[in-house]
Chains A and B, each alone.
Chain A
Amino acid sequence: MRGAIVVDKERCKGCNLCAVACPLNIIRLTQKTVNKRGYAYAEQVVEGMCTGCTCCAQVCPDGCITVYRKR
């Protein structure tokens, strides 16, 4: 089972709760870029490891994360 996330980076406020919730630790906040509002935003840093468990999306306060999963 493979998954992928899409982060609405303009809506993200960089609270880092998704990175804490991710059981595989593959989400990080950006280090050098920020969005229009000046927040570092979340992104999936390791491709190919996500299982699409939706933990990050469920804890995201602003609903920025959309999760896809394919068997």
Chain B
Amino acid sequence: MTNQEIIQPENLVYKKPNLLNDKHMHYCPGCSHSVVHKLIAEVIEEMGMEDNAVGISPVGCAVFAYSYIDIDWIEAAHGRAPAIACATKRLWPENLVFTYQGDGDLACIGTAETIHSLNRGDNITIIFVNNAIYGMTGGQMAPTTLMGMKTVTCPYGRQADLHGYPLKMTEIAATLEGTCYVTRQAVHNVAHIRRAKAALRKAFEYSMQGKGSCLVEFVATCSSGWKMTPEAANQWMEDHMFPFYKLGDLKDKGSN
């Protein structure tokens, strides 16, 4: 059997989701953001919500998310995505509304919006991509930077007396009454990508069923900011990020 015989439309088993357009993504090679984009496109396509999905894009690396996934988008001011998502969902409750935010956007400048939106139980999904660094602006320390981790603004490593402690936003969200589903996932290998996709689908379904707000955190890599190859960054994430940011569901109220 030659490759020409195999490469026929009837034998197709996997291709890029149609919602993800052909525009060249600006992300660095191996960036976790692109994988999360792909999962969002796949889940929306599988749910048949292409015409009723509204994403709120953040400020940060994912600022151009609206260019890559062919759904409706609103670009928010830095950290204010949950506020816009809340208004959008209240005005158009039949729509699937989600925000897409990084750690600088969600855990730093937008902490108040995020916590209050989750606490109000707005029927939105907040997608939180946590790579422990400010990627777009050149690798500065973020609220989620690990203790001892080196960045350009803490070149000797993060120290508690000088910089304080890393913030676990997902754990905080799990304690809020308004949240329905809070989970932490990763997208560095096939097994985790499948689990992450299932978690994302569950979050989108809960928010469409009006069960409360959902937070899906993706522990992610920033190979440029961490100054590693994508492969080494994945390994570093497994060795250093996962012991602190433990993967799994923290809260699942919707299944009851």
Q: Which residues of A contact B (CB under 8 A)?
A: 2-4, 6, 11, 13-17, 20-21, 37, 39, 47-48, 52, 54-55, 57-59, 61-70
Contact = CB atoms under 8 A, between A and B. Distances in A.
B51 interface: no
Contacts of B172: none
A4 B34 contact: no
B230 A17 contact: yes
A15 B11 contact: no
Interface in B1-52: 1, 3, 5-8, 11-17, 20, 22, 24-25, 27-35, 38
B25 A68 contact: no
Contact of B32 (A4, A14, A61): A61
A68 B12 contact: yes
Interface of B, secondary structure class, is mixed
Contact of B25 (A16, A62, A65): A62
Given A15-B230, A58-B190, A69 B11 contact: yes
A61 B30 contact: yes
Given A16-B231, A17-B231, A70 B6 contact: yes
B38 A61 contact: yes
B158 to A, nearest CB: 27
B27 A4 contact: no
A30 B26 CA distance: 22
Given A58-B190, A59-B193, A61-B30, A68 B231 contact: no
A15 B224 CA distance: 12
Contacts of B153: none
A63 to B, nearest CB: 3
A63 B38 contact: yes
Contact of B3 (A4, A17, A20): A4
The 6 closest A-B pairs by CB, nearest first: A63-B16, A15-B30, A61-B34, A13-B29, A15-B29, A4-B6
Given A2-B1, A58-B193, A63-B17, A16 B38 contact: no
A59 to B, nearest CB: 6
Contact of A69 (B13, B27, B188, B229): B13
A68 B5 CA distance: 10
A14 B6 CA distance: 25
B34 A62 contact: yes
A27 B14 CA distance: 17
A27 to B, nearest CB: 13
Contacts of B32: 61
